[in-house]
Amino acid sequence: MPRLSQIRSSSVDQRIALALAQEKQVSGRLGAHALTLAFVAIAVWCAVVHPWPGAAFYLGIVAAFVALAWTWGRLARRPLPAWLILSFVLANAALLTVTLLVPNPFDPPPWPLQMKLRPPAFGFFVLLIAWSTFTLSPWLVLGTALIVITTWSIGVGIVAFRADALRGFGLPDAAGLSRYLDPHFVDTAAWASATLTTCLIAGILAVVVGRARRLVDVQARMERARDNLARHVSANLVEELAENDEPFGPIRRQEVAILFADIVGFTRLCEGLAAEEVIAILRGFHERMADCVFENGGTLDKFVGDSVMATFGTPKPSARDAVNALACARSMLKRLEDWNTQRRACGEPIIRAGIGLHFGPVVLGDIGDRRRLEFAVIGDAVNVASRLEKLTRDLGTCLVVSQALVDRVLDQAGDGAIEDLRQHAPVAVRGRAQTVDVWTHSATKQRAASCFLGSLQTVRLEEPMSVVDALVET
């Protein structure tokens, strides 16, 4: 059986391979466009410097190159095997060799064929090597260079070993000058220089492409690390952590919206269930609640048992934090309703939740030590939100909202934003001398009844302090 580390390593490799394949497809299309532009530029150049009607021959060949590049662009929309890429290179290299060495039928009676090797035409082959970098494969860059060198060498060899050819290597002495200037002379040193230069260029480009692949590898691993971090830290905090050395800045006070959501009667619900079933319920609840928080621009502060704490306006406040918090609470209730529909169909017990919302001043900052820091939101407002969530059992509702948050919602969105809320008489909150003005969710009779019935299964009002409460009051 494979070890966990091996499974994780395999997952990383698959992720990197997928990222690299996607980048290759994008680069392939970009390379096709670049090659097409290069050939169009060559066509214009040929039309300018070559006399007519001979230029028409080269323009026709350039059209063939453009057709090849267009075909490649179509093929590059999906992953391609290496042999097909090298076949494309071979087709271009062969066509380019024919272009440079075959006499132009529209020109006047041609000079000796060996004169075709005099102009520095090999530079056009470098275009193919440059294009091969878009494959993001060092080996394909080297393979392209090998094909280019082989194709050109075959063409040069056919010309150099004709019966009327004269061969030599490099500049001759004075006595051999007339031989060197003979139109049938082929300087094999020029071929050797082009080959050496091509090898050096291909080697450098292969190293550059190798570095680019490693950068893609690093980027894929960084994205994976950020995704994994987002499983433990709220998504908007991940961006702050990734982009800034001191993402949260100094300890400060600001007003935020705080939301607590808790499963009603969780202890009794778990009686008789296996540990795996309990964890499955928690995971299903946490996943749905976290999705609602993220969808409404909130920060998932922590999971405490079956409770979820979220804040809106951290680490950076916005003009709609209270509205977003209330929208998140509504979304949580709707998501639970949909989940319970599925659970009823499977014969599983339904899940009820109580949600408390408050708006007020808190203290924001890092807590912990230099080895591990945690972003903390601390203050009386957090304590009040937690107490309001507990009051849902006594008030027979699924949602209790403080007057402070309702006031902010009215300022930010108007009366229409609280149509489903009804003002309740002031309530006493444990730990506070004064009563708190609250609003409750005016759910359908069926939902209100189910919330009330769920509250009968829960703990008493004077229950022990939760972990969050203890942390706040400390």
pLDDT of residue 462: 36
Whether the pLDDT of residue 22 is over 70: the answer is no
Which of the four pLDDT bands, split at 50, 70 and 90, describes residue 68?
confident
The average pLDDT across 27-37 equals 68
- Of 130, 174, 140, 145, nearest in space to 30 by CA: 130
Q: What φ, ψ does residue 260 adopt, rounded to 5°?
A: -120, 135
Distance CA 282, CA 266 (A): 10
In sign, the C-alpha dihedral spanning 241, 247, 253, 256 is negative
Which of the four pLDDT bands, split at 50, 70 and 90, describes residue 463?
very low
Sequential DSSP letters for 365-420: EEEEETTEEEEEEESHHHHHHHHHHHHHHHHT-SEEEEHHHHHHHHHHH-GGGGTT
Do the Cβ atoms of 314 and 308 come closer than 8 Å?
A: no
Structure pTM? 0.52
Which of the four pLDDT bands, split at 50, 70 and 90, describes residue 258?
very high
pLDDT digits (tens, 9 = 90+) for 132-169: 887 778 888 888 889 888 888 888 888 888 888 777 77
Report the percentage of the chain scoring pLDDT > 90: 16
Residue 455 DSSP code:
H
CATH 3.30.70.1230 region(s) of the chain?
Answer: 251-473
pLDDT of residue 448: 47
Q: Give the CA distances from residue 241 to residues 94, 234, 251, in Å, rounded to whole numbers and listed in that order.
A: 53, 10, 16
pLDDT digits (tens, 9 = 90+) for 190-239: 888 888 888 898 899 889 888 877 777 777 666 665 665 555 455 555 55
Residue 358 burial by Cβ neighbours in a 10 Å radius (0-12, 13-18, 19+): buried
Distance CA 157, CA 167 (A): 11
Which CATH class for the 251-473 domain?
alpha beta
pLDDT digits (tens, 9 = 90+) for 367-409: 666 665 666 788 889 999 999 999 988 888 899 999 999 999 9
Do the Cβ atoms of 160 and 167 come closer than 8 Å?
A: yes
